[in-house]
Chains A and B, each alone.
Chain A
Amino acid sequence: MGVKGHPMTNGSRNSHNRKIRRTFNNIKITVLCGIVTILVLRGTVGLSTLLGLPSPSQQTDPAMLEDIDRILREIRSDSDPDSDPAVEYNSSLSNSTETVKTNYTLGLKVTNWDQHRRNWLSFNPGFSPDPNKPQILLVTGSTPNPCEQPIGDHYLLKAVKNKIDYARLHGIEIAYNMAHLDQEMSGYWTKLPLIRKLMLAHPEVEWIWWMDSDAIFTDMAFEIPMTRYDDHNLIIHGYHDLFFKQKSWIALNTGSFLLRNCQWSLDLLDTWALMGPRGATRNEAGKILTEYLEGRPDFEADDQSALIYILLSQKEKWIDKVYIESSYYLHGFWTGLVDKYEEMMEKYHPGLGDERWPFVTHFVGCKLCSSYADYPVERCITSMERAINFADNQVLQLYGFAHKGLESAKVKKIRRDTANPLEVKENLNLEASLSF
C-alpha cells in the first residue's frame, strides 16, 4: 500500500536495534543461568565428576596431602645445605669453600695397616676369614631424604631387594649407607670416606665392593672369580684401549668396583680424595680433568674421572695392582642390554656374567631419585622394572615361580608342588656352586 522504501528502513533499523538488545539480554541471562547451574550441580555431584576427572577427595584426603607437604618441607629444611661451609668437627675449614683445599684429608694417616690387620685377625679367630672364601662387604647407599620423585624411592627399594637377594645367595654382607659422613665429600664423593671408614672398622672384611644404588644384579648365579685377583687390589670394569690409548673419561666405571682392605687401598683413597672437596677445589679439579681426559664435558670433578686421571698420571705407582676387567659385566651399561632379556632367556642361562647374560645392569643417567635425568623417565622405569624382574625370576625359580612377563609384577607357578621338595632342590641347576 505505501511506498516500500523509506518508512521500512527506519522501522527495520529500530527493530534491528531491538533485536540486538534482546539477543544481548538473552545471552546475559543464559550465561548467568549457566553459572548458577554449574554451581548447583557442583554442590550435588561434585566438581570432579562434572569435569570428568577422578575425584581426589575419594582417593586421598586433602588434609593428608597438606600434612605430607608439611613433613616434606620440614625434612628438606633439615637436610645438609650444599653451601654450608660450617663443618662441625673441622673448624679450620671455616671459610675454605672459596679456596682450593690443599690440606684436606679423609682422616688421620694410617700406616702399616696390613700388619695391624694381620695382628687383629690372629687375636680374633672367630672373625678371621675363611681362606677359601674371602669375606666381601657390599656397600651401597642413597640420600637420607625422600627422593624428589616418589618413584625414585620405589626403585631404590626394589634395587636394595635385588642386592639382598644376590648377597644372600653368595654369602656376602651388605652395608646400606644413608648418612653424610663428611660435608666436604658430597654427591658421588660420599663413597670415599664411607669405604675408608668401613675398611678400618672391619679388618675381617677382605674386599669392599662399592655398588651404586642404580646398579642391578641381573645374573644371580655368577660368582666373581676372586682367585683371578690374588695379586690385585682394585677390580674395576673398563676397557684397556679406552683407558691406555684414548684416555677416555668413561674408560673405567666407578659404579661397581672392588677394593681390597689393605694399606695400598688406603693410600689410593687418600690420593683420590684430593679432588673431592666441594667448592673451589672440586671446580678447579674439574677443569684439569676435562683438559686431560678425552670426551669429558665441563663440570666439577667427579670420582670416576678423578680415578682415571690418577691411575694414568701416576701409572707407575698404581697400575700394577689394578685389574681392568672386561670379560664380564661387573658394570653393564643398560641401554644395550635391557631390550635383549627375552632373547637371553631363550638362548642362554645364568652364570655367564657377560653380554650373553649380564652380571650387572647399571642404569647410568636415569637418576630416578632426582628430577633431572639424562633419559626419559618412562623409559628408565620400564627398563628398570624389566631388569629387576629378569633377576627376580632367577630367585623365584628356586621356589617354583616366575614373573608372568618381564614387565609384570604378578608371578605364576612354573613347577608343581610336590611332597618331596628336597629332591627337586637337589636337582635344580643354577649353573654355579651356589650355597642355596
Chain B
Amino acid sequence: MLERCIGERRIRQIQRATRNLKLTFLCLLLTLLVLRGTIGAGKYGTPQQDFIELRHRFISHPHRALAEEHQPEPKPKQSDKDDEPPLRSLNNPYSLGPKISDWDEQRINWVRRHPERPNFLTKTKPRVLLVTGSSPKPCENPVGDHYLLKSIKNKIDYCRVHNIEIFYNMALLDAEMAGFWAKLPLIRALLLAHPEVEFLWWMDSDAMFTDMAFELPWERYAPYNLVMHGWDEMVYKDKNWIGLNTGSFLLRNCQWSLDLLDVWAPMGPKGPVRTEAGKILTKTLKDRPVFEADDQSAMVYLLVTQKDKWADKVYLESAYYLHGYWGILVDRYEEMIENYHPGFGDHRWPLVTHFVGCKPCGKFGDYPVERCLKQMDRAFNFGDNQILQMYGFTHKSLGSRRVKRVRNETSNPLDVKDELGLLHPDFKAVQNRAS
C-alpha cells in the first residue's frame, strides 16, 4: 500500500535506515550496560549487587526469618491502627498522671501496715527493683532476640546473687511516650504500685553486668534520690549532653522522684513537642547532634536549668561504672583477668558494660554489626564466668559458648568455697531470719 504512495525504492531506503537505527540504538545500550558492569553506575548499582539481591531474595536463608513470610504476626487489625494517638500540640502540656503530693506519707503508712514487705532488707541494704525491657515485637535483626535473651539471663544472675527483684517490661504504657521515653510512665507506675520498693534501678536492655561480685555502696546514697553515672563538671559546667547516662540509674521511691518525673516528661510526647524540644536541647547542650528530644539530654537540661531545685539530691557517680561505655572496655577483658579480680566495679573490673549505639534488636546501629555482636558475646562470657565458677566451670574462652570444668568433683561439696564467695555472700544474708 505504502509502495503506491512513495515508491518502492524509497520504501527500501526507509526500511534500511530504520534497521540501521535500530541496530545503532541496540549497540549503544549494550555498550552502556557493559560499562556499567565494569565501572559501575553509582547509585544505579552493578550486576554484582543485582546478583546478591537476587540471591537473597530467592535462596531462603534459615536465619532470614525476619522476612514477613516467616513471622505470622497477628494481622494488624484496622482498630489497632486507628488508635494511634493524635500528635500533641505545643500548647497542650503533657502529664504522666494525676498529681500526688503526699506520696511520702502514703508510702510510710503502707509500709507500716505491711511489715512482711519491709523497704530495707538489712540496716543498710534497701529493697531494689531492677527494671528493664524490650519491644513485644520480634527483633528486626534475626539474632537480636538471642542477645536480648542472653542479656536478661545476665541480669537474672546478678540479681539472684544480690537479692534484687526484676521487672521485665514489654508493654508500651503510653503510646505518646514511645521510644526512649517509654521508661518514664513505666517507672512512675512501678513506683506507685510498689511502695515497698526503696530504689528503682532502670537498666537498658543493651547493658550487661560484668562484675558479679560488686555490691552497690548503698550507704553512700542515703542522702540522695537519684544516682546516675556521670561527672559534675561535664554536666553543670560544660553542659555536655553525654555528661551523664540514663541507661543505668537509681531512683528512690519518694515524692521528690515523682516531682522529678513530672518535670522530666514534658519534652517526651511524640510529634512537634519532641521535635521542638530537640532543637532547644541541641542549642543549649554541648556537642549534641540535631535530633528529637531524648530522655538523657532532657535530664542534663533539667539539671542545668533548675540546678537549685534538684542538684542537691542528685549524685553523679564516677567512682565505678554504674554505666560503662563498651568501646573502651571490651578489648581489655583479658588484661583485667590477668591483673585484677571481680569486686572493683571500676576501670579495673567494670560493673556494667553498656553497648550504647549497638542496637542489636534493630536494623541499623552506629557500629558494625559484627563488632557489636562479637563483643557482646565476650562481655556476656566475661560476666558468666563469674557465675559458672560458683559451680566449678568456666567458658573455654571469652569468645566461646562452650564450658569446661575447672574444679574437681568432691564428695563433700559444702567444704568447697567458690573463689569469689558468690554462692552465699554476706550481702545476700537476710538478717531478719537470724533473729
Contacts and interface: CB of A to CB of B under 8 A. Distances in A.
Interface of A: 29, 32-33, 36, 39-40, 42-44, 47-48, 53, 56-57, 59-62, 64-65, 67-72, 75, 78-80, 88-89, 107-111, 116-117, 119-120, 124-128, 130, 142, 144-151, 153-154, 156-158, 160-161, 164-165, 168, 173-176, 178-181, 197-198, 200-204, 371, 377-378, 381-382, 385, 392, 396, 398-401, 404, 407-411, 417-422, 425, 435-436
A409 B170 contact: yes
A178 B166 contact: no
A66 to B, nearest CB: 8
B98 A418 contact: yes
B53 A126 contact: no
A126 B393 contact: no
Contact of A150 (B139, B152, B165): B139
B62 interface: yes
The secondary structure that dominates the A interface is: helix
Contacts of B116: 435
Interface stretch (B44-52, B223-231, B306-314, B317-325): B44-52
Contacts of B97: 417
21 contacts: A36-B29, A56-B56, A67-B370, A70-B370, A78-B402, A111-B411, A117-B414, A126-B431, A127-B428, A146-B142, A149-B62, A150-B65, A158-B170, A160-B149, A164-B152, A178-B384, A181-B391, A400-B189, A408-B77, A410-B80, A421-B192
Interface string B25-66: 010011001001000010011000110111011000111111
Contact of B404 (A68, A88, A161, A381): A88
A145 B143 CA distance: 10
Given A40-B29, A124-B424, A419 B74 contact: no
Interface stretch (B130-138, B259-267, B287-295): B130-138
A398 B388 CA distance: 36
Interface string B398-435: 01111111000111111000000001101011110110
A399 B57 contact: no
Contacts of B138: 150-151, 154
A179 B70 contact: no
Given A42-B50, A56-B53, A408-B74, 18 more contacts: A47-B53, A68-B373, A70-B370, A88-B405, A109-B411, A116-B414, A127-B433, A149-B62, A151-B65, A153-B145, A153-B146, A175-B156, A198-B391, A203-B414, A377-B72, A409-B170, A411-B173, A421-B192
Nearest to B373: A71
Given A36-B29, A201-B413, A399 B193 contact: yes
Nearest to A46: B45
Interface string B116-155: 1100000000000000001011111111111011101100
Contact of B63 (A72, A164, A377): A72
A420 B57 contact: no
Contact of A151 (B36, B71, B152, B190): B71
A23 B33 CA distance: 27
Contacts of A158: 136, 170
A410 B141 CA distance: 21
Nearest to A380: B72
